Structure formats: C-alpha cells, structure tokens
A and B are shown apart, each in its own frame.
Chain A
Amino acid sequence: MTTTVESETERVIVPGRGGSRRGTRPRRPGLLKFGHWWWALPGVVLVIAIHYIATVFGGAFAFTNWSGLGSFDWIGFENFRRIFQDSSKLLALGNTLFLAFGSVILTNVLGLAIALGLNRGLKTRYALRVLFFMPVVLSPLAVSYIWKFIFDYNGPLNTVLRAIGLDSVARAWTGDPTWAIWTILIVIVWQQTGFSMVIYMAGLAAVPVEIEEAAAIDGASLWQRFWHVTLPAIRPAVAISTTLGLVNGLRVFDQIMALTGTGPAGATATLATEVYKQAFTLGNFGYGAALALVLTVIILVFAVIQQRVSSGREED
C-alpha cells in the first residue's frame, strides 16, 4: 500500500508499511515503545495517591469529630448542621462570595479596558503591558504585607490623606469593620488585573481589524463597535478569564491572612480561612474538613454554571 501526498507544486509517493495504519515506526524492542500506558503508571499512581486519595480521605473526615490527634467518632452530617446554623460561618460564606464576584467583575472590567487601550496605537504600549503585568508575578503574601504597611494607621495612605486635609477620612483601614474587606478586594484586584489583561490581549489579537474598520465606516460609535463587534469576538477569552478569576477568587487566602488575619473580630473571614482556622489552629479537624467540602461544592457549582453560560453562546 502506498500513500500519496499531494501538495500544490508536486506529487510525492511514499511507500507505506503493510497492515499498519500508524505510518512509519521506529524498529525498537518492546520496552522502548512510546505511548504505552505503563510508562505513565508510576506518575499516575503518585497523582492518584497524593492528589485524589488524600483528598478523599480528607473529605471523609468531614463526617467525623477528629481533632487532628488520637481517635475519632463518625458523626454523620452533624458538622454540616453546625455550619449552616452558625452565623459566623454564614458571614464567611457571604464574604467569600463578595470577594469572588467583586474581584472577578473588577479585574475583568479593568483588564479588558487596559487591554483595549494597549491593543494598538500607543507607542509605549509594550512597556505599559510589562508594567501592568508585573504585579501578577509577585508573591501574593509579599504584596499583601506591603499593602498592609500602606493601609497602616501611620502608613503612606493616611499620611497623604492628612496632608491634603482629609483627617477625618484617615483610619485604621485593616482594622475597620466596614472597610477591611475592601482593602482585601483592592489588593486582589491590584495584583490580578494584569492577568486578565494578558488573556484579553490574546483574545483581542485575534479580532480582525477589517471588521472594526468596516463598522466604523458604517457609522457605529465606539461603544457600539465594542459591544457588537469586539466583545462577541473575544467571548472565549471572557469565558477563560472569568472562570479562572471566579475559581481563584473563591479560594482567596494569603491576602486575608496577611492583611487582616480574618479580623477585625472575624469580619473578613472567608470559607478558606475558616477551614484553616478550624482544622489547624483550633484543632477541629473534622469541622474544618466539612467546611472545605462545602467550599469545594460551591466552587464546582459556580465553575459549571460559568462554563455553561460562557460556552452556550459560542455557537451564535
């Protein structure tokens, strides 16, 4: 059997091998064949053991009263009943959703705006892209500590406010029950906007200039061009960016522990920080595992909804 390859300029006839559909194969003894499943077996075993089995064990503890030491009893859904009856856990749930949706909306709107602005035209756009992306590569913990200093009662923010005569506005931002959660949101948005920007720039690069120019010639305003031409074309980028942003936003931890330590008096606690506090600091491992399970289910639900909403519109 021969294979014929036709290209635009010439026709090449390649002799094939009898009986095989795989094309050319290296003549090597059995162990060195590529692609066999047992080459990957050690890696697969490790991933299953460390990643999945360990997670299942951890999840199983959600139905016990284990303290992290010694023995435990199976208590069924008692931990979950406690979670939904505790007002502080409901506050944590509210904070989790606020930070997740707040950070997704703000980072995506700002990221898209910056990406649009730096897409074409500006001479300094390459340097500006680097500047806007730099915060993303920094450690969230290091960034949080620096912002903690900025928000400090005697830190730069309050010093500036006092210097321009806004003494009454200056306060201990990370210790204020109303404003503490906003400080965390600001830090998250500051660091993650660059990430959204990069995703949107990749999406925008695929939008053909001709269609936008055609729309402009037809008399579409800037906003109409954006809403009816650009946005539909970057729908996949929107889907990716919002999914990633939502999943990460629901898991925020470093920024909260560094900025407010879940304070003041638990006002900035989220499900992720509560998992850590209950399981490891207070020695209620079973209760912490139950909180972790609830958080996992919430993330799964939102990720699935997110994917349905984003990919559902792709066909039109």
Chain B
Amino acid sequence: MTQQRRSRAVRAGVFATAVAGALILAGCSGTSGDGGNTTTDTKQFSLAFGVSNEVETGYEKLANQYMTENPGVKITLNKLPGETYAQTIRTQLQAGNASDVFVAAPGVGQAYSLVTLAKAGLLAPLDDTAKKVIPAGADAQFIVDGKTYGQALDIAFVGNIYNDLPGVAYPSDFQGVLDTCKKMAADKKSLFVIAGSVGANTGIMAQTIAATRVYAQDPQWDQERLAGKVTFADSQGWKDTLQAIVDMNKAGCFQKGAEGAGFDAITNGLTQGAALGMFGPSGAATEINTAAQGHAKFAVYAFPAATSSDKAYGIASSTYAYSIAASSKNKVAAQKFLDWMADPAQSKAFAKDQGTIPVSGYEDIDFKDSVYAPVESVLKDGAYTPIPNSSWPNASVYDALGAGVLGLLTGQKTIDQVLADMDAAWAN
C-alpha cells in the first residue's frame, strides 16, 4: 500500500470512530435534563400503572375523566405489564426516564415501595392534600422526614374472600373453622383454597390470621419490632398464628396438593365450588362476583379470633398510591391532577371501580349491601392495622414468612425455625 493510501485510510478510520463515538454519547446523554420545571404548569404529564389484561381500570377511567373536565390538559397513559411493573418502575426511576405520575406501594418492603424510593431521592414531595388522605395509623407508610411522598388511592381490606351462596355459614371462632373444615373435607371439598407455591398468598394468609393473634392485643407491634423491643421468635402471638396454620392443615382446611398450587388453583377451586374461600385483598371479591354473574356471592370477612370473646380485628391499608418522580418536568400539572384525585367524588369513583374502600368520604358510606357488610363494624370501629409487611424493613422478611408457611405445610420447617428465619432476614 502506498503512503498516500495509508494516510487516507487512517483519516477515514479516525472519522468513522469519531462518528460512532458521537452517536453513542448522544444516545447516552439524553436523560440528563435541565433539572425539571417546578413552577410552570405545562398542562401535560405522563401516567404509568400496571395492567394484567385489556379491561379498563380505574386509573385509566379517571385519567380520561380528568382530560374531559380539563380540556387543554394532555395525559399520556403508560400501561406497563402487571407482573413486572414493580421492577420496571424501579429501573425507570433509577435511569431518570420514569413517567411523571406513577403507582407506587405505600411503606417499604417491595421493589416499588414509596418510602424506599423517597429515601433514595427518586420521588418529589407532595402537597398537603396527600397528607390529608393518609389512612388512619399509616403515616409511616407515606411520610419521610416530615414530607409526604405518596397519595393513597383507596383502602383495601385484606381477609377472607368467602362465598356465601352455598349456605355454609362463615365460622365465628377458630374452633368453628376447624369443625367446618373437617365437615367439608369429608365431602371431598375444602373450606379454603391457597396457592401454596406463591409466597405472596401464604404470606397474606399468615398476616390475616396474625391480625387477631398479634395486632389485636398490640397494634404497635411492628413499631416495637423496628425499635428492637420484641422479636418474632419470642412473640407468643406469632407462634399462635403459625400454630393455627398447622392446625388448619391437619383439619383439612386446604385443598389437596396445596403445596404445589398456583393462583390458577384458587380461580378453579372457587369457580367450581370445590372451596368456599381464599385469603386475599378485598378487590378480588368484586372481581370474582362480576365474573361469576350470580352463581356465587363473595363477601369480605375478617378471619375469626381464637375464641368468640376475643376482639375482632382486621387488616386494612392502602395498597396503591400515586407518586411523582423527582425527575419530572411537569410537577405542577401532575400535582393538580393529584389534588383532583383526592376529592371525595373521585375517591369514591375509583374505589367503586376497584372494589375497594374510598380513601376520603367513607365515614358516611353504608356498607350493608356491599361486599364489606361482614366487616362493617371492624371498619367503623377502626379495629384494623395496616398490612404488616409494608412496615417491615426489607422484602426478605415477607419472603421468609411466605416460604416458611409453605415449609410448615410440607413439614420442612418447624414454627420456631420459621420465626428464626424471619428474625434473621430482618437483620440483613
């Protein structure tokens, strides 16, 4: 090759490298913006939420309603797949390209828990409107360093979703549970159906039972655990909770093959009448009733206490909240939307659509003909605690509980081992 050709080749090579490098850098620098506009109303923002199917959810309906009532405001809806929603939102926030408003989970312990995100500096503080709609006793799930980072959207009651139509009365105490279980097992059915292989379902069952064994006597148990005053291993209430699960398993309360069952077992079991109840959030009752079209009548019950003279107690807290990303450039427009969402009218419309309890204006609601009729007194008396795992410091504790309950069912673990695992996970 001649000298002239070689230098031309080298120049061309340098040029190609420079172009490639510039393209890569241009692609990477797109996210670092100007820090966000905090004073002007840009009249547009993006809204992200998780979806599992094509059915229009309350999130979408209310966003569309807002646009109708406020022409000139544009909301871009980002519907993310439900199963991976938590992880997607977390990644987007870390990268700085999350939607302006998005659904987050109150408290800590999940991939998209808003207290964790707020402590990492990824959320923008909200107005006082958000502070006003925080459900009773749940301040720690929304407020960090005196600032509110999430606006509760509704309150869900976590308990038994039970089918009243077949006429088997929901037991009023724990012995009643065991007796009913034995009767149904003799008929080759089961009182409850659980998804043993899904940690979230076994964990929610344990927490529903713990409401009357742990939190009815000591509503501040989680705060005491955070302060190190109590542990799971030395808590008689938690031992009683896990013992109740072991007793229920022996009495045949759960369907055969529960250890390997997934969510499909719950759907199949309830729709075919092989089981009467499941453990879960109250939104499921409305969903299943709509799908069953009169062939079933599901209502929300609080799991019975050990004896009928013990206090009835339940779990009710906000499962979802709206938060604003710290990197948002449309904070004013987003905040106006959240103020509108906090109105009793919107709160009731959203809760009606989701089958949950509105976060504002629920004191005057008559629950008698709704799925909440059985827990009306528990709600009105305030005899409930926010879902425990939203106060626990990391997700491993709830994971240990879910896996531990399955271990109790398969015989892999003892009650003391499960509680020790939870304490060990707490310390990590």
Contacts of A174 in B (CB 8 A): 197, 260
Assess whether B428 is interfacial by the CB under 8 Å rule: yes
CB pair B410 A176 closer than 8 Å:
yes
A26 to B92, CA, bound (A): 51
Given contacts A45-B24, A49-B24, A69-B94, contact A265 B412 (CB under 8 A): yes
The residue in chain A whose Cβ has the minimal distance to the Cβ of B23 is: A42
For chain A, residues 206 to 265, give those with C-beta under 8 angstroms from any C-beta of chain B: 260-261, 263-265
The residue in chain A whose Cβ has the minimal distance to the Cβ of B10 is: A38
* Prevailing SS type, chain A contact patch: loop
Shortest distance from the beta carbon of B19 to any chain A beta carbon, whole Å: 9
Contact of B406 among A68, A264, A281 (CB under 8 A): A264
CB pair A281 B395 closer than 8 Å:
yes
Contacts of A148 in B (CB 8 A): 262
Assess whether B252 is interfacial by the CB under 8 Å rule: no
A41 to B13, CA, bound (A): 9
CB pair A41 B20 closer than 8 Å:
yes
Shortest distance from the beta carbon of A316 to any chain B beta carbon, whole Å: 47
Assess whether B258 is interfacial by the CB under 8 Å rule: yes
Given contacts A33-B9, A69-B94, contact A172 B257 (CB under 8 A): yes
CB pair B406 A30 closer than 8 Å:
no
The residue in chain B whose Cβ has the minimal distance to the Cβ of A45 is: B20
CB pair A70 B121 closer than 8 Å:
yes
Shortest distance from the beta carbon of A265 to any chain B beta carbon, whole Å: 4
Among all A-B residue pairs, the 5 with the closest Cβ atoms: A153-B257, A175-B260, A175-B259, A70-B120, A172-B260
Contacts of A30 in B (CB 8 A): 1, 5-6, 8-9, 12
Give how many A residues have a beta carbon under 8 Å from the other chain's beta carbons. 42
One of B43-51, B111-119, B137-145, B177-185 at the interface: B111-119
Shortest distance from the beta carbon of A19 to any chain B beta carbon, whole Å: 11
CB pair A41 B9 closer than 8 Å:
no
For chain A, residues 138 to 182, give those with C-beta under 8 angstroms from any C-beta of chain B: 148, 151-154, 171-177, 180
CB pair B198 A69 closer than 8 Å:
no
The residue in chain A whose Cβ has the minimal distance to the Cβ of B413 is: A265
Contacts of B120 in A (CB 8 A): 67, 69-71
For chain B, residues 1 to 31, give those with C-beta under 8 angstroms from any C-beta of chain A: 1, 5-6, 8-9, 12-13, 16-17, 20-21, 24
Give how many B residues have a beta carbon under 8 Å from the other chain's beta carbons. 47
A17 to B62, CA, bound (A): 79
CB pair B407 A265 closer than 8 Å:
yes
Q: Which of A46, A174, A180 has the most CB of B within 10 A?
A: A174
Assess whether A280 is interfacial by the CB under 8 Å rule: yes
CB pair B403 A265 closer than 8 Å:
yes
A277 to B260, CA, bound (A): 19
CB pair B260 A176 closer than 8 Å:
yes
Assess whether B275 is interfacial by the CB under 8 Å rule: no
Given contacts A42-B20, A153-B256, contact A283 B197 (CB under 8 A): no
A260 to B198, CA, bound (A): 9
Contacts of B117 in A (CB 8 A): 69
Contacts of B119 in A (CB 8 A): 70
Assess whether A104 is interfacial by the CB under 8 Å rule: no
The residue in chain B whose Cβ has the minimal distance to the Cβ of A171 is: B257
CB pair A283 B260 closer than 8 Å:
no
Contact of A31 among B8, B21, B199, B406 (CB under 8 A): B8
Contact of B396 among A31, A264, A282 (CB under 8 A): A282
For chain A, residues 12 to 52, give those with C-beta under 8 angstroms from any C-beta of chain B: 29-31, 33, 36, 38, 41-42, 45-46, 49
Contacts of A38 in B (CB 8 A): 9, 12-13, 16-17
CB pair A264 B257 closer than 8 Å:
no
Contacts of B258 in A (CB 8 A): 172, 175
- Taking Cβ atoms with an 8 Å cutoff, the residues of B that contact A are 1, 5-6, 8-9, 12-13, 16-17, 20-21, 24, 87, 90, 93-94, 111, 116-117, 119-122, 196-199, 256-262, 394-396, 399, 403-404, 406-407, 410-413, 428
Shortest distance from the beta carbon of A28 to any chain B beta carbon, whole Å: 10
A277 to B6, CA, bound (A): 54
CB pair A265 B406 closer than 8 Å:
yes
A153 to B411, CA, bound (A): 18
Assess whether A193 is interfacial by the CB under 8 Å rule: no
Shortest distance from the beta carbon of A232 to any chain B beta carbon, whole Å: 45
CB pair A36 B403 closer than 8 Å:
no
Contacts of A29 in B (CB 8 A): 5, 8
Contacts of A36 in B (CB 8 A): 9, 13
Assess whether A284 is interfacial by the CB under 8 Å rule: yes
Assess whether A267 is interfacial by the CB under 8 Å rule: yes
Shortest distance from the beta carbon of A45 to any chain B beta carbon, whole Å: 6
A148 to B121, CA, bound (A): 42
A284 to B428, CA, bound (A): 10
Assess whether A266 is interfacial by the CB under 8 Å rule: yes
Shortest distance from the beta carbon of A24 to any chain B beta carbon, whole Å: 15
Given contacts A30-B9, A41-B20, contact A267 B257 (CB under 8 A): no
Contacts of A264 in B (CB 8 A): 196-197, 259-260, 403, 406-407, 410, 412
Given contacts A265-B412, A283-B111, contact A151 B399 (CB under 8 A): no
CB pair B395 A260 closer than 8 Å:
no
The residue in chain A whose Cβ has the minimal distance to the Cβ of B255 is: A153
A30 to B11, CA, bound (A): 10
CB pair A31 B17 closer than 8 Å:
no
A266 to B199, CA, bound (A): 11
Contacts of A280 in B (CB 8 A): 87, 111
Shortest distance from the beta carbon of A90 to any chain B beta carbon, whole Å: 15
Contacts of A281 in B (CB 8 A): 111, 395, 399
